[in-house]
Amino acid sequence: MGQLLLVRHGQASWGTDDYDVLSPLGWEQGRILGAAMARRGVKPDRVVIGGMQRHRETCEALFDGAGWSDLNVRSDEGWDEYDHLAMLDLVPAPFEGESPTRAEFQQWFELATDRWIGIDDPNGAAPTEGYAESFGTFGERVTRALRRVVLSMGRTETAVVITSGGPIASVTASLLEPEGPRPTLWSQLNKVVVNTSVTKVVVGGRGTSVVSFNEHSHLEGEGLTYR
């Protein structure tokens, strides 16, 4: 049976000019996870990262912590996060001024994502106008990326994918509720994905299944962050 370990990137640089770089804590989170994987004897047969800088830097930190040096890394933009900045542009900010607190930003962010996925629509229809990528298109993109990894894996291989919270929530929701659109479940999962948490998916004769979500025991204490 093969296993796929979905790793969320380390803490990014919230509130700075470039969000898409790891904070000092984000680098340390990646190294801590790498060391934890090495202690458990995990050495992946393949590593896939999204196309964002925070994915690449998390991979570097993970390799440093684990002592891995001889693994090939493949980039696949199918694992990229949704464009949260474009989503925020379509929703008025619920605060005054240009420098929101973390709580104010979180409120704004949730309003924007709820609109994107159609939670507020009585018919459950997610809007597409104004978005370069709709919620439905985002889910399809992530599903294709998941399929590419699964098809590339040998029967007993371990693959590590370094991505973001949105794609991890999308994979988990689609495998738990495969019947159709899952905006509410996706939203619930997306809110709680911890930086450098690990979600485990197994691939075998019964198909592809989630067996654990958002595991982060390596980050107990002050190292645990959600954004």
Around Cβ 44, how many Cβ atoms within 10 Å? 20
pLDDT at position 65 = 97
224 domain residue, yes or no: no
Tell me the per-residue pLDDT of 151-181, one tens digit each, with 9 for 90 and over.
999 889 999 999 999 999 999 999 998 776 5
Provide the token pair at 168.
């991890």
* Spatial distance between the Cα atoms of 41 and 66, rounded to a whole number of angstroms: 10
136 domain residue, yes or no: no
Tell me the per-residue pLDDT of 15-71, one tens digit each, with 9 for 90 and over.
666 778 999 999 999 999 999 999 999 999 999 999 999 999 999 999 999 999 989
202 domain residue, yes or no: yes
The H or E element spanning position 140 is helix 135-152
Provide the token pair at 174.
């689609």
Whether 152 and 144 have beta carbons less than 8 Å apart is answered as no
Whether 29 and 195 have beta carbons less than 8 Å apart is answered as yes
Residues 6+ apart with CB under 8 A from 203: 1, 2, 3, 4, 150, 153
207 domain residue, yes or no: yes
pLDDT at position 15 = 65
CA-derived radius of gyration, the chain: 17
204 domain residue, yes or no: yes
pLDDT at position 180 = 63
User: CATH code at 54?
Assistant: 3.40.50.1240
Looking at residues 211-227, what average pLDDT do you find?
88
134 domain residue, yes or no: no
Q: Which domain holds residue 186?
A: 2-81+155-219
Give the total number of structural domains in the chain. Answer: 1
24 domain residue, yes or no: yes
User: pTM for this structure?
Assistant: 0.92
148 domain residue, yes or no: no
The residue among 5 and 223 whose pLDDT is bigger is 5
